[in-house]
Every structure is written in C-alpha cells, then in structure tokens.
Structure 1
C-alpha cells in the first residue's frame, strides 16, 4: 500500500510541475506545435515516467499513475470552473495583437509571435493585409482569432487546421 501512495504523490507532483511549466512557457506553445515541440513532449514524458512510478515498473504502478493524472485533471478542471480567482491565476488572458490594422509590436515581441506566424493566421482567416484586420487576438487556448474590416464578412474563432468560414450578409 505504501508503494501505491508513493506513486500517487509522485504523480501529483509531476502533474503540478507540468501545469506550472506550461503556464510559464506561454499559451502560444499549446496550439502551434512544431517538430522541436513534439520532440520535447516525447522527451518530457520519458523523463518524468520514472519520477512518477519510481522503481515500480509493474502494470499496476503504471495504471495507478495514469489514474491519478486523469482523476486530478478532472478535479482541477472542476475546481477552476467554480473558482474564477484561481482560474485567472492558472489560465492566461487573451491578448490583443492587432487593433484596427495597427500591430502591437511590444505584445508580439513579448509573446514571441513572429511575422510569419501572424501572416499564417491571417491567411487562414482569408485576410491578406494588416490594415484589413479590425482585431487579432491570441486566445487563452493559444489560437489566434481575427476579425476582418471587410464589409459583409465576419470571421469566427476556430481551432487551427479547420477551414475558415465566411458569412456573406446580403
């Protein structure tokens, strides 16, 4: 029984560490994974495995660690849903990148969003020029949502890799 409790506590410690590490590295990293990000995730999962289960490499040890992670994740999400103060601490807030065609270079620099990434998001929303952007925001999930200045066209917020939607109001 002591071995299982050890796995429970180790798993919780690794989970909390990962939440803090992701929070500190920024939300942009969540939605825009490149090759180095995938490699990092694979290496981190391998690095923390032993930290969670210790010398216990049994099936039960792995299932206990996974169960603790799933259960704590559900509990944390429920807690954050009910507690706005803590939700504000753990979640980041949306950031304005472009307002009425004017880029916020300080914010883009702080968030480490490159010109290429911003232009890619604009193309995904069917916009060619910065001056055609009424509002571009980095959302809390790491996606960039854009609202166009073009009459008769509204852009909806969507996850990357989804086709963009146009609404023509006649």
Structure 2
C-alpha cells in the first residue's frame, strides 16, 4: 500500500475511533475542562496524530494507548461522582475572590490571578465596579461566577410583588415551510387551526421559515423575506381590554341606577370581576 494511502487510512480510523471514544466520555470533554480533562484532551489528540502519521511503528499500539487513556478518564469520572474527597483533590475547590465588595488578595495569589484578569472577567459580566459585588468565586474549571449586592441586582417582577405566568417551552410547528404534525398534536391542535391562524396573519405556509406556538396557543412566525413585517398576536391583550371594559361598564351601571338592590348587585359583580382580572392578568400581560 502506498504511504499516502496508508496515512489516509490511518487518519480515517483515528477520526472514527476518536469520535466514538469522545462520545463515550460525554459532553464535559467539549465544555469547560477540569485539570485532568484538559490533560486527557491534549494526550488523546497527540495519540490520534501519532496513529495517523507514524508509519514505522505498529499503528494498533496507538489505538490501545488511546483506549487505555479513555478508560482511565472514565474511571476517574466515576470516582469523582462517588467521592467528594476525590472531586476536591482532582478538581480542587472553589475560591472566593471578592467578598462584600473587597478583593481578597491572598486568594488571588493562591489562584495566580492578576487584578487585570479579574477586572476583565467582571467586565465580561457587565460589572465595572468591584464595590458592586457581594461575592465573586472562581470555580474549579477556571470560570468566575459573581453575585451582585442586593441594591445592584436587576429589578424583577418578584421584587415588585408581581406574579407572572409560567414560561413553557414553545413548540415549533413550521420549519422551512413544512408543517410539523407531531408538535401540533402535542398541543392538541391540527392543521386546520394552523391554516386559520396563518390566514389571520395574512401569510402563506410556503413563505414561513419558522413558526412556533407558545403554551397559550398563540402562533408566532418568521418569514423567509425579512423585509415583511408580521403583526404580533393580540388575542391576550384584546381579552384583557374586554374584561376591563366589562368591569368599567358594571361600575357605570351601579352609579347610574337609583335602585338600591341593582346598585348592590352591579357593585358586587364589579368586585368579583376585578378579582378575576387580578388572577388572569399575569397570563395576559406576557
């Protein structure tokens, strides 16, 4: 066999074996790596190159070494899952870098981290003042996680005592102009409903690049032609407006009548409707 053909054959074998073994190791090998996983990744890559190009050696010995490295890595990962001590020894522990807005210089030296590197990591999280930070911790994989002080955290509905509806995963019912029947059936819908909603929006199915239905049955579409503007669904906003109008009408009826019993009835109905509106409003203001 010509040498160039042997190199091609060995490279293809190495790629296939490396892919299968990497799949076996799992997603951690392609995310942020721990110290041992970093060493393992470098070694496996070097062995794969050796298998491909070293024509004078027995190539299957490289595969054996590759399998041994993967087996050792799997064994260490299993040990880490079973033992907290092993995790701390192999991956080390998290280290606090900032506490109550003050940089802990001894911990910075321990992690061999400069102030410039720390500030760079903070800026990547849109934090420009160390004094705004409650805690900053460097994780075993080298990433830095930050907790802002309470007064510097973004305002959320929970801070205002506002309840919002739960967020559920939308279902993609149209992809590349093709209808996806399985997601439709999971939502309890059908093609007839889909065509009706598309007609309301004034678009044809073949013009839709992506269509998604949220948990409340509203269809959102993205068209192939980005110059076209599709109106957003307004059913929920319209329903909320109608409920408020009904409440206002009941209050007006109560003020305009001279009958005491009717006035009391209108006022009670208005109060009950107001309670209903408060209950459904988190679902209708999304």
TM-score norm. by structure 1 comes to: 0.57
**Would you say 1:105 and 2:105 are equivalent positions?**
yes
Distance, in Å, in 1 between the alignment partners of 2:125 and 2:150 is: 12
Distance, in Å, in 1 between the alignment partners of 2:66 and 2:119 is: 39
Aligned to 1:123: 123
Please tell me whether Structure 1 or Structure 2 has the larger radius of gyration of its CA atoms: 2
Distance, in Å, in 2 between the alignment partners of 1:130 and 1:105 is: 13
Matches within 5 A, 1:69-84: 69-84=69-84
Distance, in Å, in 2 between the alignment partners of 1:168 and 1:62 is: 57
Distance, in Å, in 1 between the alignment partners of 2:91 and 2:70 is: 19
Per-residue displacement from partner, 1:80-132 (whole Å, max 9, x unpaired)?
21122222222211000000110101111221101111011101111101101
Following TM superposition, the consecutive aligned residue runs of length 4 or more in structure 1 with deviations greater than 6 angstroms are none
The answer to whether the Cα contact below 8 Å between 2:132 and 2:152 also exists between their aligned partners in 1 is no
Aligned to 2:67: 67
Uncovered stretches (5+) of structure 2, i.e. residues with no partner: 1-33, 51-55, 158-286
Distance, in Å, in 2 between the alignment partners of 1:84 and 1:105 is: 27
Q: Residues 151 and 65 from structure 1, CA distance in 2 versus in 1: closer, same or farther, beyond 3 angstroms?
A: same
Q: CA deviation at 1:152?
A: 6.6
Q: CA deviation at 1:168?
A: 4.2
Aligned to 2:271: none
Aligned to 1:169: 156
Uncovered stretches (5+) of structure 1, i.e. residues with no partner: 1-28, 34-40, 50-55, 154-166
Considering Cα pairs closer than 8 Å and 6+ residues apart, tell me whether 1 or 2 has the greater RCO. Answer: 1
Q: CA deviation at 1:150?
A: 5.3
Distance, in Å, in 2 between the alignment partners of 1:127 and 1:87 is: 31
TM-score norm. by structure 2 comes to: 0.35
The answer to whether the Cα contact below 8 Å between 1:152 and 1:169 also exists between their aligned partners in 2 is no
Aligned to 1:137: 137
SS in 2 for 1:98: strand
SS in 1 for 2:66: helix
SS in 2 for 1:77: helix
* RMSD of aligned residue pairs (Cα, Å): 3.0
Matches within 5 A, 1:150-165: 151=151, 153=153
